[in-house]
Amino acid sequence: SQERLFNFAAGPATLPESVLRRAQSELFIWRGSGMSVMEMSHRGKDFKSIIEKAESDLRSLLQIPPEYSVLFLQGGATTQFAALPLNLCRSPHDPVDYIVTGSWSDKAFKEAQKYSKPNPIWYLHICANETIHGVEYKTYPTPLNPNAVLVADMSSNFCSKPVDVSKFGVIYAGAQKNVGPSGVTIVIIRNDLIAQAQDVTPVMLEYRIHAENHSLYNTPPCYGIYMCGLVFEDLLEQGGLVEEAAKENMVQLKGHRSVGGMRASIYNAMPLAGVQKLVSFMKDFQAKHA
């Protein structure tokens, strides 16, 4: 069929139509460069302008303070479950705190057990929005210990509303829900936390290496970064993360296989018409079955 469906998937998720059409128009030749973004050298000036604009637009959207680095990485949010304790802890004996509110924070907690001792305060890890269980923090905890570092997995609510970045040591998110295709993982980290990682840390998981090389240590997911850049630009053109966008992003279609029930993932790019259709469907269903 040539008709686009209303896609309520949890991720990969629906993207703004304007962004897809723009990417389509630039797919074959990107802005007079003579080639597709997929074919460009990641070291060339064209790709450099793409990644730099993506970063500066994201900085504007989230008002990221200058003392934070923005990294465009690979491996999904799941890779960050290991990268965080490897980079933030000096040894596997360092104590850390994890609040487990659902499957994703539980996975993060289990991975951290290999590289740290998750429990008393060193840093506190939370999942800002548990995509499967639907548990979202409306306000974020402020650790009592001023040296404690708040780390948040924002995979499913990244750029869905304004956030005070300065409250966090690290924010990370897979791009494939609100801001782009899968394959790009965004890490926003306060620069003083970019220190010596544990000796066993694979080079691809070292924040210092990626920060020093501006996310170009090796070949980055170039096309995905370009797509994220188009989404950031589109969000800025719409006025940024205004309060409207902050209103409830989630209602409960098909639940995750592990918990059942119903779930509708309505990320930023879901058009109003899609939501209206869902609402009227639910009302009809209720009227028929009440």
Q: Cα separation of 222 and 106, whole Å?
A: 31
User: Is 74 a binder of ligand PMP (CB under 6 A)?
Assistant: no
Residue of 57, 104, 122, 234 marked catalytic: 104
Cβ distance to ligand PMP smaller for residue 30 or 130: 130
Which of 174, 181, 221, 274 forms a contact with ligand PMP (CB under 6 A)? 174
Which range, of 16-24, 149-157, 268-276, 280-288, touches ligand PMP by CB under 6 A? 149-157
Q: In angstroms, what is the minimal distance from the CB of 265 to ligand PMP?
A: 9
Cβ distance to ligand PMP smaller for residue 40 or 159: 159
Q: Cα separation of 107 and 111, whole Å?
A: 6
User: Is 153 a binder of ligand PMP (CB under 6 A)?
Assistant: yes
Q: In angstroms, what is the minimal distance from the CB of 231 to ligand PMP?
A: 16
Cβ distance to ligand PMP smaller for residue 135 or 236: 135
The contact pattern for ligand PMP, residues 98-127, with x = CB under 6 A and - = no contact, is: ------x----------------------x
Q: In angstroms, what is the minimal distance from the CB of 104 to ligand PMP?
A: 4
User: Is 249 a binder of ligand PMP (CB under 6 A)?
Assistant: no
User: Is 141 a binder of ligand PMP (CB under 6 A)?
Assistant: no
To the query of whether residue 177 is one of the catalytic residues in this protein, the response is yes
Which of 69, 87, 155, 249 forms a contact with ligand PMP (CB under 6 A)? 155
To the query of whether residue 153 is one of the catalytic residues in this protein, the response is yes
Q: How many CA atoms lie within 13 A of 116 on its CB side?
A: 31
Q: Cα separation of 18 and 272, whole Å?
A: 14
Give exposure, 64-99, as e/b (b: 16+ Cβ within 10 Å): beeebbbbbbbbbbbbbbbbbbbbbbeeeebebbbe
Both tokens of 152, joined, read 């948040």
Q: Cα separation of 181 and 158, whole Å?
A: 14
User: Is 156 a binder of ligand PMP (CB under 6 A)?
Assistant: yes
How deeply is 138 buried, as exposed, middle or buried, from its count of CB atoms within 10 A (0-12, 13-18, 19+)? Answer: exposed
Residue of 153, 161, 199, 288 marked catalytic: 153
Q: Cα separation of 72 and 59, whole Å?
A: 13
CA distances from 47 to 18, 146, 180, 234 (A): 21, 40, 17, 19
Interface residue list for ligand PMP (CB under 6 A): 10-11, 76-78, 104, 127, 131, 153, 155-156, 174
